[in-house]
Amino acid sequence: MIADTMKTAPRTSPGLPRQLRASRLARNGSLAGWAFAAPALIVYLAFLVYPALTSLSLSFTSWNGISPAKTYVGFQNYVNLVHDSVVQTAARNNLIWALVTIAVPMALGLALAMAVNTRVYLRSLIRTVLYMPAVLPLVGVGTIWGWLYQPAGVINNLLTDVGLGSVTHAWLGDSTTAIWAITVPAIWVRTGFPMLLYLAALQGIPAEYYEAARTDGASAWQRFRHITFPSLRATHYIVLALSLIDTAKVFDLVYAMTDGGPGNSTQVMGTWMYFNVFQSYNFGYGTAIAVVITLVAVIVGIPYVRSQARQLV
């Protein structure tokens, strides 16, 4: 009878309890992961996603930032943006800024990295001094360089002392030279970052490559062209991508040195957005400019993010 009962009893798979335990552990692990991620996720939603969505909604309104009433105007702010002559000037200045403050710091950063990668006296101190401008506050840098550029400032006095008095100029007071004058401190500040990245990449190139090239009689230029420069391809890409993202957000130096003048000739998208929001109290139009700046930064940053994600995989 016991045998009959055993024959008729349903058979349970020995792997079923193990599967249930594994499923329960996976569920508990997932809940624990969400619990650990919740604080950062809440901060991200509260201080990034929510303000971004609020700004996007404001860009479709006409609002002075004071009265509670907001008038919905649809895409009119974006239409006005296309026909705004100051926006055209600002976009051109952003393009000039991107070309100058990316190409020159990259070239200087690579040259300085190669120079300090050799055995020189006080090498650590030299590296620190060269990188120091990159950590200075940009408003302070802009204020100091604004003093240097004054008509009776250090730059004009120095030009006069060396016999180039005819070259002295109101550098920030002339619409033709102001934007170019601002790029000089920008280059000074932005050279340290690519130098640091290039220096780290140079130290990762095997010394055997250069020894073999010297044995084959390769010149310094040939070693740079066929070994150094190709080996830095990934670093070139990172520096270029991060610099492009940074140029889309330029504001500090221009605001501190010229405030967009003279006559809006040095306006960039960031300063024109600030002027509309906090000086003209045209929040709808100003946030529309901010949305455009954000979209440009996102579009420029997508290839960099994809490349980093590909490396992680």
For 73-112, write each residue's pLDDT tens digit.
Answer: 999 999 999 999 999 999 999 999 999 999 999 999 999 9
Q: Are 52 and 294 in contact (CB under 8 A)?
A: yes
The answer, yes or no, to whether residue 51 has pLDDT greater than 70, is yes
pTM of the model: 0.83
In terms of domains, do 22 and 138 share one?
A: no
Q: Measured between alpha carbons, how far is 91 from 54 in angstroms, rounded to an integer?
A: 25
> How many C-beta neighbours within 10 Å does residue 173 have?
15
In terms of domains, do 41 and 112 share one?
A: no
The answer, yes or no, to whether residue 1 has pLDDT greater than 50, is no
107-158 pLDDT per residue, tens: 999 999 999 988 777 778 888 899 999 999 999 999 999 999 999 999 999 9
205-220 pLDDT per residue, tens: 999 999 999 998 999 9
In terms of domains, do 81 and 45 share one?
A: no
Q: How would you class 177 by CB atoms within 10 Å of its CB: exposed for 0-12, middle for 13-18, buried for 19 or more? A: middle
Residue 188 lies in a domain: yes
DSSP 8-state symbol, 150:
S
Residue 273 lies in a domain: yes
Give the per-residue pLDDT at 9: 46
Residue 185 lies in a domain: yes
For the ranges 11-20, 120-129, 188-197, the maximum mean pLDDT occurs at: 188-197
Residue 27 lies in a domain: yes
Closest CA to 250 of 185, 163, 162, 153: 185
Instruction: Name residue 72's beta-bridge partners.
Output: 61
Q: What is the mean pLDDT of the chain?
A: 87
Residue 8 lies in a domain: no
In terms of domains, do 155 and 230 share one?
A: yes
In terms of domains, do 296 and 158 share one?
A: yes
In terms of domains, do 255 and 137 share one?
A: yes
In terms of domains, do 170 and 255 share one?
A: yes
The answer, yes or no, to whether residue 168 has pLDDT greater than 50, is yes
Residue 1 lies in a domain: no
Give the per-residue pLDDT at 30: 67
Final residue belonging to a domain, choices 36, 51, 66: 51
In terms of domains, do 47 and 126 share one?
A: no
Residue 71 lies in a domain: no
Domain that holds residue 82: 76-312
In terms of domains, do 39 and 175 share one?
A: no
Closest CA to 254 of 269, 276, 239: 269
Question: Per the structure, how many domains does the chain have?
Answer: 2
The answer, yes or no, to whether residue 26 has pLDDT greater than 50, is yes
Q: Measured between alpha carbons, how far is 179 from 30 in angstroms, rounded to an integer?
A: 53
User: Which of left, alpha, beta for 65 (phi over 0: left; psi -120 to 50: alpha)?
Assistant: left
The answer, yes or no, to whether residue 23 has pLDDT greater than 70, is no
Q: Are 238 and 244 in contact (CB under 8 A)?
A: no
CATH code (residue 95) = 1.10.3720.10
In terms of domains, do 147 and 286 share one?
A: yes
In terms of domains, do 107 and 227 share one?
A: yes
Residue 66 lies in a domain: no
In terms of domains, do 28 and 168 share one?
A: no
